[in-house]
Amino acid sequence: MKKLIIVESPAKIKTIAKFLDSNYVIMSTMGHVKDLPTKEIGITLTDNDIALSYVILEGKEKTIADICKAAKSSDEIFLAPDPDREGEIIAWHVDQEIEKVIKKNTKVYRIAFNEITKPAILQAIENPSTIDTHKVAAQQARRALDRWVGYEVSPILWKKLAPGLSAGRVQSVALRMVCDREEAIRLFKPEEYWSIESQFLYKKEPFHAMLSHIGKDAIAISNTEQATTIAQDIKKEQYAIESVTDKKRLKNAPPPFMTSSLQQAAYNRLGFSVKKTMQIAQKLYEGVALQDSSTPVALITYMRTDSLRLADSAVKQIRAFIDTSFGKTYLPKAVLTYEKKSKAKAQDAHEAIRPIDVHVTPTIAYKYLEEDFAKLYELIWQRTVACQMNPAEYAQRSIVIKGGAFTFKATGSTLTFDGYLKVYGVDEDDEDTKESAILPDVKAQEKVDLKKVNPKQHFTQAPPRYSEASLVKDLEKEGIGRPSTYAAILNTIRARSYTTLEKKRLLPTELGMAVTRMLVENLPDIMNLKFTAHMEEDLDKIASGSLDRDKLLRLFYKRFSKDLKTFAGKHAGKAGKIIQMTELDCPTCSKHKLAILYGKSGEFIGCSGYPECTFSSAFERMEDGSLTLKAPEPPQLLDETCPNCGKQLRILKGKFGPFTACSGYPDCKYIKQNKAPFACPLCGKDVTQKAWRGGKFWGCTGYPTCKFALFDQWEPTPCPNCQWPFLIHKNNKIYCANKECGYKKQ
């Protein structure tokens, strides 16, 4: 009996194949195979129906044809894309295609597995299901909502601001959060405050305490004069211990990872971007080579999840490992379970992210895996083991010191039992896991001597800009987006030039701020955090079968189309690329204000009286929101001279990056070109480096008569077979570029 398994990623094929016999053929869709058309909305809304028009994705015709050919001769077919809504729609689309060709008695099943192990694969095959139409409907609803916003809002942004801009139902809300944070930073006014730390001596043993109260009032010192006066008064008093409190404090282990917490921890601990984390996690899930390079092994469970649940079998294995490796003092009497606290409802069909086999330790991972793969696996392994370990214990001592009207407090904390920290370690940003100063063994009523008084000036701090990790944390907290969307959200707001990364923090560009202002003003619903979060909850309801897909879409489109009509009408016929007017006068004409503009090379500031006045300048936005014009950098002169006129060459910045040209321009128009050490193999002319929007390449100077071009990395070594003047490097191999030769080597 011939059986066909269709997975989503080709990387899984080798991992799964080793578990099954020769009756099984495994094929991959390589992601989505169908989607809404690119040149039209693809959604038809009538009184009776909402229809989504799917088309085969470009380049996937052969993939579908190959799958259909295999399905035609199969007796059983198992649709096995990833166990989420995106995977469900892929299974549904494949099912639509194979139903056209399969034999009458062929059985088609849907199977899903949270880990790629032999027991999980065999259990899925032995207990097949059918396509979950509720999940399909939820994915269709999300796709329709995103398509409406993207395709109907973006053209208005093109007309008003700049071509190529986009709006997105979730990405625009995420961008708003970044812009709102930047606005808060610009409006922030720091306030002065003071603290007073004093050093005391107890039997010649020094310790520090902070002033907490003056009389019954908590301290509130706002200027130097107050601080100086209070410090002088403190020195006049005699001090004694009022109370000593000793207690045990427990620090519980964190829960196992779900997608968002893994992204945050990998960013904070390893410095990995969200995108990098998900790419590595995907490969750890699909399978990587350990001892046997030809046999990939899946190391972790599915990495797109918002569940904190661990399978009973996994918990049993983890607890046994803790008992054996660390002893019973580290093992809780009862299994530890965790509940999600954020607004987004956990989809408990998945587990948390965990190692498939806890006995594959980080030591093994570092032995066989690339360093970054081993680091991420180690983080997942540590968190999973730690979540089933006893709390860390601290001995905490609090001392209250009184002298006259002044009350000081000192707190010290000492780790007495490391518990889960033995595996997971201390987070740098977690004050609860850090030890503090050891305080002396004092008793109430004992006297202490005041040694030093140290007033310290402070200023309140503006809220920090978002990092990728903190933005994901707040998106999750607000219930915006889902595990599968966080990486795409961050990628989109970066790719569209709406944000830049500065010191690992997301800084909105002027364009990003302008787009956000325009959308908030004209489309308040889709830019509202609560509205977007509520929409995510409704999509979850569709997935569970408690809400009808079309009901949600009709309610949304009714409000959205009304706002959209007003928005489009408000900007009808208007043109221009002014992002924002400023209060700065033009230094050239003095008649017009300067405006922030957006051009082909990005943002700049220019006279709003253009073309009457052509003043333009680069600019910098200061921390307080003010603008500073930047003088153009003078060209960098080189010691090298122009071969045409003898003047010095200089480095200039152009549309495609820096280039070297003659300083005698416009009299001399020489531009230096990097020349290859070989002639064009087609016509014999020089080959030089050229630039275009996609980057740099090498091309014949005889263009357009000769169209020789070289985009790959090359080395100036003649081919040992045919003497072609160079070899190219591609996919870790060296090839001869002469198609008639065929020479290649590792």
As a whole number of angstroms, the distance between CA 414 and CA 436 comes to 7
As a whole number of angstroms, the distance between CA 633 and CA 23 comes to 69
Closest by CA to 211, choosing from 201, 223, 200, is 200
As a whole number of angstroms, the distance between CA 384 and CA 576 comes to 55
Give bridge partners of residue 35 from the DSSP assignment: 55
As a whole number of angstroms, the distance between CA 384 and CA 604 comes to 50
CB 29 within 8 A of CB 81: yes
| 66 phi and psi angles, rounded to 5 deg | -65, -40
As a whole number of angstroms, the distance between CA 207 and CA 199 comes to 6
Distances in Å between the Cα of 607 and the Cα atoms of 339, 592, 633, 704 are 57, 6, 20, 40
Q: Report the DSSP pairing between strands 192-202 and 205-214.
A: antiparallel
Q: Is 591 helix (H, G, I), strand (E, B) or coil?
A: coil
As a whole number of angstroms, the distance between CA 494 and CA 293 comes to 37
State the DSSP H helix or E strand holding residue 250, giving kind and residue range, or none if neither.
strand 239-251
Instruction: Look up residue 279 and give its DSSP letter.
Output: H
Write the CB contacts of 275 (distance below 8 Å, at least 6 apart in sequence): 487, 490, 491
Q: Which two tokens stand for residue 203?
A: 């039997």
Closest by CA to 379, choosing from 356, 354, 351, 352, is 354
As a whole number of angstroms, the distance between CA 499 and CA 521 comes to 20
Annotation marks residue 267 as catalytic = no
Beta strands in 143-230, from DSSP E residues, in sequence order: 192-202, 205-214, 217-218
Tell the residue number behind the tokens 């939820």, with chain if given: 138
Distances in Å between the Cα of 743 and the Cα atoms of 591, 680, 717, 718, 729 are 68, 19, 13, 11, 12
As a whole number of angstroms, the distance between CA 191 and CA 202 comes to 36
CA angle 638, 642, 648 (to 5 degrees): 35
* Contacts by 674-681, CB closer than 8 A, 24 or more apart: 676/716, 676/726, 677/716, 678/716, 678/725, 678/726, 679/725, 680/706, 680/708, 681/708, 681/724, 681/725, 681/737, 681/738
CB 298 within 8 A of CB 14: no
CA angle 213, 219, 225 (to 5 degrees): 125
Tell the residue number behind the tokens 């909305």, with chain if given: 41
CB 405 within 8 A of CB 305: no
Q: How far apart are the first and last CA of the chain?
A: 40
Which of these is catalytic: 302, 330, 420, 498?
302
CB 526 within 8 A of CB 172: yes
Beta strands in 148-204, from DSSP E residues, in sequence order: 192-202
Q: How far is CA 537 from the centre of its chain?
A: 22
| 246 phi and psi angles, rounded to 5 deg | -110, 130
Question: Catalytic positions, please?
Answer: 302
